[in-house]
Amino acid sequence: MQSCLELIKKVDVVPYPHETGYTEFRQSVYSLISHDGFFQLGYMLLPVVNALEAYPQFFEISALNNTIRFHPSLDTIEAREQALEIIGNTWRSATLFETLYGWRNEKYTIFSQDRKPYFHLERAMCPLFGVVMYGVHINGYMKLPNGEYRLWVPRRAADKPTYPGMLDNTVAGGLGYPYGPLETCFKECYEEAGLRKEYVSKKLSSCGVVSYLYQVKPGDYFSEAGLIQPEVEYVYDLEMDPDVIPHPVDHESEDFKLMSIPEIEERLLLGEFKGNCAAIIVDFMIRHSIITPEEEQDFIEITNRLHRFLPFPLRTL
Amino acid sequence: MQSCLELIKKVDVVPYPHETGYTEFRQSVYSLISHDGFFQLGYMLLPVVNALEAYPQFFEISALNNTIRFHPSLDTIEAREQALEIIGNTWRSATLFETLYGWRNEKYTIFSQDRKPYFHLERAMCPLFGVVMYGVHINGYMKLPNGEYRLWVPRRAADKPTYPGMLDNTVAGGLGYPYGPLETCFKECYEEAGLRKEYVSKKLSSCGVVSYLYQVKPGDYFSEAGLIQPEVEYVYDLEMDPDVIPHPVDHESEDFKLMSIPEIEERLLLGEFKGNCAAIIVDFMIRHSIITPEEEQDFIEITNRLHRFLPFPLRTL
């Protein structure tokens, strides 16, 4: 059994500048720098940087400064995407990185300092370059007349490539290009829970973002298991009616179960939820006065860690 | 007219480690260090550090490391409080710092790394030592049947020493020792808005914290106007009934006005709200789907800056 803070630290993994381990982190990872040298886009690990040594026409590597920079000649979005496509196709054919087994044919957008798309990148490639990934997470809930909450919780299919069999948020999905957060909500609500846009648009409420710096294997900066994953999840509450039962359409999950807060708390602390979904539920419980400063000793640190300010240009409209 | 992000940056002022100006900040301010050298408690400015040179029996100053450390002999809470009382009384009599004109005879608690009170300090002294101050902020609101929100907004009395005449949150107050957040809510709701505990306890909902690193005069690290103020505000929503009209009991504010969201937005961007109260209202508007990622281009950065992780031990139960 773990504490709520321990749960959050499994998602917001990388040390902060004032914490033990930050110096080791900074000395071990490479900053991915824009072609003009003006901003950083992500944190990369040595195995990936080493693999990019084969492409001096695309990337300039400085072991002295721990930086890997887009070649100055890659000064258009088209040039950058062409370079990344060549690299991605080669790595995928060569099965160089396990993370590429999950190739999706879905693009994520990476933003520049001047708030424009800097390049689009295959979703499975993003963790290799350590760039920010965006998604939506939706808590489908009911508030009973006595004030108690119930949440609709699906279990991920046993054959899903990532986190099979774990508990999940009611609906969640990545922000694939060219969809915005709300469009992604409508799309995923139908695919994952059979909820139609007409219903969802009346019941959905935007509630902020949860952001964090994730690693599958904490503190490992030298193997693929330690890839740095900066993530921003747009958070939504969906207040549902008793007669609406979510059901999987795309078979990404097994059946949904309507859970009480005590049941969710128990399963959270037992580690049955996928990590970032646990964080999203904790955020829900904080916003809805279920976790309070009178009872949770780590209330402040939990809230702070759920909203990490990532040191990269962030998505705009 | 300013943007919503500009509004937040007036409260969360000090640069983050990845931002321009951070190095200058770190090189200009002193870290206040515990007697055992194990943790930092606050950020102090040179005028205050210089004034403490007169007390070598209480503080060890290192200009080389930009640190000021409690003397190792101050190894009990009583010893530290005795030292701080001598210093405070002397400075107050000598009118050494303007901030001490606002002496309150109210103590704030400063916490240690092992989560115990490290010392209690007169509220007016806290900004001089740059330690974390805690408070509660309450949004009293109604949601109309058509989905529109109304917020109860008071104006601060014209003769208040700080921020006279500015708009405020419905109820707000510092966490004076020995009160916890909820007790402080009940106390302040009565004093500031005439709302009794019996009513408030049924309607109040804890919704998280807002935290930030404030300076009255941004970027000034060498005068009293630039004192570094780390703050954590416990945030509450108070859903109110149409027939309950808040009214000042302690005359800290003028009359309350029930404002629509468009009116609040206009007054926010015109700078009529006290800075941190504006931040608390923005947090409310994010949580209630009034500010959304579809319309606010700085949605992510605003949410992150509202929840800054302060590099000091934080309050626990």
Q: Could you read off the pLDDT of B177-188 as tens digits, one per residue?
A: 999 999 999 999
Report residue A160's pLDDT band, with 50, 70 and 90 as the boundaries.
confident
Per-residue pLDDT at A151? 98
Do A184 and A222 fall within a single domain? yes
Give me the number of domains chain A comprises: 2
Please say which residue of A129, A162, A195 terminates a domain. A129
At B193 the three-state DSSP class reads: helix
Whether B74 is covered by a domain: the verdict is no
Average pLDDT, integer, range B56-71: 98
* Interface residue A50 vs chain B (CB under 8 A): no
Per-residue pLDDT at B317? 85
Do A213 and A68 fall within a single domain? no
Do A123 and A184 fall within a single domain? no
Do A143 and A111 fall within a single domain? no
In 3D space, the residue among B1, B3, B6, B7 whose CA is nearest the CA of residue B279 turns out to be B7
Whether A148 is covered by a domain: the verdict is yes
B1 pLDDT higher than 80: no
* Interface residue A297 vs chain B (CB under 8 A): yes
Q: What mean pLDDT value characterizes chain B?
A: 96
Report residue A84's pLDDT band, with 50, 70 and 90 as the boundaries.
very high
Quick check: A287 and B207 CB within 8 A? yes
The residue of A41, A137, A202, A299 whose CB has the most chain B CBs within 10 angstroms, and thus the best one to mutate to test that interface, is A299
Report residue A244's pLDDT band, with 50, 70 and 90 as the boundaries.
very high
Per-residue pLDDT at A2? 86
The one-letter code for the residue type at B229 is: Q
Quick check: A316 and B297 CB within 8 A? yes
Per-residue pLDDT at A267? 97
Quick check: B287 and A315 CB within 8 A? no
* Interface residue B23 vs chain A (CB under 8 A): no
A254 pLDDT higher than 80: no
- Report how far residue B286's alpha carbon sits from residue B303's, in angstroms, rounded to the nearest whole number: 8
Residue A35 structural domain:
22-129
The pLDDT tens digits for A180-225 are 999 999 999 999 999 999 999 999 999 999 999 999 999 999 999 9
Per-residue pLDDT at B232? 98
Report residue B252's pLDDT band, with 50, 70 and 90 as the boundaries.
low
Whether B250 is covered by a domain: the verdict is yes
- Report how far residue A95's alpha carbon sits from residue B22's, in angstroms, rounded to the nearest whole number: 42
Whether B43 is covered by a domain: the verdict is no
A249 pLDDT higher than 90: no
Do A250 and A105 fall within a single domain? no
Beta-strand ranges (E) seen in B25-81 are 30-33, 40-44, 59-62, 67-70
- Cβ atoms of B153 and B259 within 8 Å: the answer is yes
Runs of H (alpha helix) within A148-223 = 181-193, 197-203
The pLDDT tens digits for B183-223 are 999 999 999 999 999 999 999 999 999 999 999 999 999 99
Do A300 and A269 fall within a single domain? yes
Whether B224 is covered by a domain: the verdict is yes
- Report how far residue B63's alpha carbon sits from residue B66's, in angstroms, rounded to the nearest whole number: 5
Quick check: B310 and A304 CB within 8 A? yes
Whether B312 is covered by a domain: the verdict is no
Per-residue pLDDT at B192? 94
- Cβ atoms of A130 and A44 within 8 Å: the answer is yes
Do A173 and A298 fall within a single domain? yes
Do A157 and A280 fall within a single domain? yes
- Cβ atoms of A285 and A229 within 8 Å: the answer is no
Average pLDDT, integer, range A127-134: 98
A251 pLDDT higher than 80: no
CB atoms within 10 A of CB A159: 8
Average pLDDT, integer, range A95-108: 95
Whether A292 is covered by a domain: the verdict is yes
With contacts defined as CB-CB under 8 Å, which chain A residues touch B289?
Answer: 205-207
Nearest to A314 among B181, B287, B301 (CB): B301
Quick check: A309 and B308 CB within 8 A? yes
Report residue B235's pLDDT band, with 50, 70 and 90 as the boundaries.
very high
ipTM, 2 dp: 0.97
Separation in Å, CA B159 to CA B156, B257, B268: 8, 19, 22
The one-letter code for the residue type at A123 is: R
Q: What is the domain-level CATH number for residue B241? A: 3.90.79.10
Separation in Å, CA B30 to CA B27, B56, B216, B288, B291: 8, 16, 18, 39, 38
- Report how far residue A309's alpha carbon sits from residue A299's, in angstroms, rounded to the nearest whole number: 18
A299 pLDDT higher than 90: yes
* Interface residue B26 vs chain A (CB under 8 A): no
Q: What is the domain-level CATH number for residue A57? A: 3.30.750.160
Separation in Å, CA A177 to CA A121, A124, A133, B106, B138: 9, 14, 11, 54, 39
Quick check: B311 and A16 CB within 8 A? yes
Average pLDDT, integer, range A94-120: 96
Do A243 and A160 fall within a single domain? yes
Do A110 and A136 fall within a single domain? no
Q: Report residue A101: phi and psi, to 5°.
A: -60, -25
B2 pLDDT higher than 90: no
- Report how far residue B101's alpha carbon sits from residue B95's, in angstroms, rounded to the nearest whole number: 8
A252 pLDDT higher than 80: no
Helix B261-269 to helix B275-287 angle, to the nearest 10 degrees? 140
Buried b (16+ CB within 10 A) or exposed e, A242-271: eeeebebeeebbeebebbebeebbebbbeb
Whether A312 is covered by a domain: the verdict is no
Least confident of A86-95, A204-213, B243-252: B243-252
Please say which residue of A129, A153, A176 terminates a domain. A129
Do A184 and A246 fall within a single domain? yes
Do A124 and A166 fall within a single domain? no
Report the run of H or E that residue A176 belongs to, with start and end: none
With contacts defined as CB-CB under 8 Å, which chain B residues touch A293?
Answer: 180-182, 206, 209, 234
In chain B, pLDDT over 90 holds for what percent of residues? 94
